Amino acid sequence: MTANFLQQPWVGTIAFICLIGTLPGQAATSPVPQPSPVGKPAPQKPPSQPDKFPPSPLELTAPDPLLPGGLQRPLSESERQKLGTALDDLNAQAIAKYRSGDIINAFEIWNRELRLRRALGLLNEVEALGRVGDIAWKQNQPNQVIVITRRLQAIQKQVQAPSAKTNLSERPQILQALGTAYQLVRSPGLAVSVYEQMLAEARQRKDATEEVSLLNTIGQLHLSWFDYPKATATYQELLTLSQGQRDRAGEAFYLNQLAYVHEQAKQPAQAIPYQQQLADLYQKNSQPELLPALKIRIADNYATSGQINLAEQNYQEAFKLAQPVFQLAYAGDALRKLGVLYRSNDRLDAALQVYEYLAGVEQQAYDTYGLMDTYDQIGQIHLARKAYPQALTAFNQGLAVAKQLNYRTDYFTSQIQQVAQKTGQ
């Protein structure tokens, strides 16, 4: 068998190729791989990977005429002022390019400005990064936003290093500027991370005023980015603090905020307990003028969550509370919403009574547009009950008001004609 194998013509060819690959001075164009043990593939050299990220345009890698000494040489006060003026001029040039539609060159100039801003200190640089980052985000320049965000993160890491507390006198201002800049590049999570760091330090110093201020900033940030669970947790913490300090004004504000957060999150039932606590607080503080509007909101939330009886009760309470404090607009609003509630639940007799009372309130408040709409509602209810003479009267009253306003006269005329046809008049 061995002899037959050696006599095969292709064996000699293989031997010749292997020999060429080992001749001294001969360059091998395709080296022959060595056989690997059975079951173990030969190790493959990984292909060279390109750099994941290109060099940042915010890194100063070449000398700049405005900063011939580079970033390492400290600047005198006069040099700082001169450089600051020159960088403001660069910003003005970039703005001019931007307004002319030359976006690419505008950002090239801004990047040069940002590279050189480092020489003026971190606070100056962070504020400029936020300014340009906001423009980049609005102009849909994602790569520019990423570059700026990474630089902000590098500065944050530098500022938050343990040694930074003693080496950076501007550290609190820089942290605040970082939070603002992160918001300008639409990175709320990074902004919150800065504010939480500041919050922890304020608590260590037992600075209650700063603690409340930062919690408010964090809560508003969560709310503006629709993170309702975190906004709720933050405002609940603020509510607890205000209650512990017997801060009635703060307590009222945070109860209102918590209710608002749940309303925005389409959770009306969860908003109601906070609003009820707020109503109790208004009564304790002798603030009856604030109750009608709040009662209407409570009724709205009951109606939205399907608790019709409680909605009806709170609309009625809102109307009763509005009258003694001469809040006719809220009184009318409560009756109007109560009428809609009755009509949607096919309680036409109750709805008719409410709208007739509402017409009197609107006359008293000189609400002509509201009165015109109320006559229309009364006419529609009579029409649904096939009480055509009463419907005709209501539509005629509506037409009289419409003529005063020179508005919707054709509509009321058409309604009158249709009703007249039904009655044969």
> 3-class secondary structure for the chain?
CHHHHHCCHHHHHHHHHHHHCCCCCCCCCCCCCCCCCCCCCCCCCCCCCCCCCCCCCCCCCCCECCECCCCCCCCCHHHHHHHHHHHHHHHHHHHHHHHCCCHHHHHHHHHHHHHHHHHHCHHHHHHHHHHHHHHHHHCCCHHHHHHHHHHHHHHHHHHCCCCHHHHCCCHHHHHHHHHHHHHHCCCHHHHHHHHHHHHHHHHHHCCHHHHHHHHHHHHHHHHHCCCHHHHHHHHHHHHHHHHHCCCHHHHHHHHHHHHHHHHHCCCHHHHHHHHHHHHHHHHHCCCHHHHHHHHHHHHHHHHHCCCHHHHHHHHHHHHHHHCCCCCHHHHHHHHHHHHHHHHHCCCHHHHHHHHHHHHHHHHHCCCHHHHHHHHHHHHHHHHHCCCHHHHHHHHHHHHHHHHHHCCCHHHHHHHHHHHHHHHCC
Distance, CA of 286 to CA of 338 (rounded, Å): 27
Q: How many residues does the chain have?
A: 425
Would you state the pLDDT for residue 2?
39
Select from 371, 372, 390, 369 the least CA-distant residue to 381. Answer: 390
Q: What is d(CA 116, CA 178) in angstroms, rounded to the nearest whole number? A: 18
Buried b / exposed e over 283-314, threshold 16 CB at 10 Å, is: eeeeeeebbbbbbbbbbbbbbebebeebbbeb
Of 109, 64, 56, which is closest to residue 83 (Cα–Cα)?
64
Give pairs for 118-121: CB < 8 Å, separation 24+.
118/60, 118/71, 119/67, 119/71, 119/75, 119/80, 119/83, 120/75, 120/80, 120/83, 120/84, 120/87, 121/170
**Per-residue model confidence (pLDDT) at position 99:** 97
Give the per-residue pLDDT at 72.
Answer: 84
Structure token pair of residue 30: 């395709």
CA atoms within 13 A on the CB side of 237: 16
The pLDDT assigned to 167 comes to 62
| CB contact at 8 A, 170 and 132 | no
Q: Which two structure tokens, joined as six digits, stand for 57?
A: 């345009």
pLDDT of residue 319: 97
Mean pLDDT for each 10-residue chunk of the chain (425 residues)? 39 36 37 43 50 75 88 91 97 98 97 96 97 98 97 95 70 96 98 97 96 98 97 98 96 98 98 98 95 98 97 98 94 97 96 97 95 98 95 97 97 96 76
pLDDT of residue 116: 96
